[in-house]
Amino acid sequence: MKKYIFPVLLIGLVSCGSDQTDQPAVKEKKVIVKHFKNEAEMDAHVLQLKKITEASGLIANSLHYEKADGTMIEVIGHLDSTNVIQILEEQFSDGNGKTNGTRFYFLNDGKPFMTQELIDQIDGTNEAVFIDRISYYDEKGKILKTKERTASFQDDINKSKYKPAPLHPIKMDRAMDALNSEKEFSTTFQGFVHQDIFSYLILGPDDPNGFTTALRLDYRDQLVNILYSDPDKYLGAKVKVNFEVHDDRGFEFQVYAGGKFVD
């Protein structure tokens, strides 16, 4: 099983999990901006966005980025039928057994009107706690309210009720950087790794402590052949890649599907 990576639009912002030039150009359509009167209307629109994105079945994956200490981030854009991101999903881990979980950004005119965090973390007494935290925002992005519920285990969270909590705004800037392979998630050539019968292309920023990502090489194209010809020479060269996310009995991995040098 494999998931294909599509070019997408986040309202006026282009956000691509890969550079697939064989896909038809997407025309930006007129955006209908919702104006919410209260929390109930926001909750109702979240349900509507879930139905819309589930019906389209379209997603846009970022690369899967990791650090040596286990810090991880991977972003999934859930699209409507016109290739516009409506829900942004950020899967993350802070590494070393610290906080990990998923953040959801529900979008209106390209900006979150509601965020939800589903988080496993260690509290001050070194006990594990699962947190379900929801925050609401106005049209300008100002946070209006935060509520949360907690449980010792994720399976028990639905037995708890939400309670008012201190305002806890979160931003989706890092998630968008990961989706677009920008800033700390920029993709420069960092070498090759060989494991068993497979070879992997390693990409990441020019930072020894930065995020890296590995793509399995099932074939060699012109870019890979050039990099193989003199890896030391091209170390740090900026590249842009296409990729597919494959699933083999519950294990996901990235497969290289072409690429090119970029200025």
Who contacts 256 (Cβ-Cβ below 8 Å, separation ≥6)? 201, 215, 216, 217, 218, 219, 224, 241, 242, 243
Are 245 and 251 contacting, i.e. CB atoms less than 8 angstroms apart?
A: no
Averaged pLDDT for residues 19-45? 63
Residue 14 above 70 pLDDT? Answer: no
CA angle (57 as vertex; 204, 158 as ends), nearest 5: 90
Who contacts 72 (Cβ-Cβ below 8 Å, separation ≥6)? 64, 65, 66, 91, 92, 93, 95, 100
What is the per-residue DSSP string for 213-239?
EEEEESS--HHHHHHHH-HHHHTT-BE
- The confidence score (pLDDT) of residue 95 equals 81
Averaged pLDDT for residues 217-245? 96
Residue 13 above 70 pLDDT? Answer: no
CA angle (160 as vertex; 72, 128 as ends), nearest 5: 40
pLDDT in tens, 39-52: 999 999 999 999 99
Q: How confident is the model at residue 207 (pLDDT cuts 50, 70, 90)?
A: confident
DSSP 3-state of 32: coil
Q: How confident is the model at residue 12 (pLDDT cuts 50, 70, 90)?
A: very low
Q: What is the dihedral of CA 176, 25, 50, 87, to 10 degrees?
A: 10
pLDDT in tens, 84-126: 999 999 999 998 777 899 999 999 989 999 999 999 987 666 7
Residue 30 above 50 pLDDT? Answer: no
- The confidence score (pLDDT) of residue 128 equals 84
Averaged pLDDT for residues 194-204? 95
pLDDT in tens, 133-179: 999 999 999 999 999 999 988 899 999 999 999 999 999 999 999 99
- The confidence score (pLDDT) of residue 208 equals 83
- Highest mean pLDDT (candidates 9-18, 22-31, 34-43): 34-43
User: What's the whole-model pTM score?
Assistant: 0.86
Q: Strand 213-217's sheet: what is its strand order?
A: 2-3, 239-248, 251-261, 213-217, 198-204, 188-195
Question: In 38-162, at which residue ranges do the beta strands (DSSP E only) sit?
Answer: 58-61, 65-66, 71-79, 85-94, 100-108, 111-122, 128-137, 143-151
Are 82 and 31 contacting, i.e. CB atoms less than 8 angstroms apart?
A: no
Q: How confident is the model at residue 182 (pLDDT cuts 50, 70, 90)?
A: very high
Of residues 22 and 174, more confidence is placed in 174
- The confidence score (pLDDT) of residue 33 equals 64
Of 225, 198, 208, 216, nearest to 257 by C-alpha is 216
- The confidence score (pLDDT) of residue 124 equals 65
pLDDT in tens, 56-93: 999 999 999 999 889 999 999 999 999 999 999 999 99
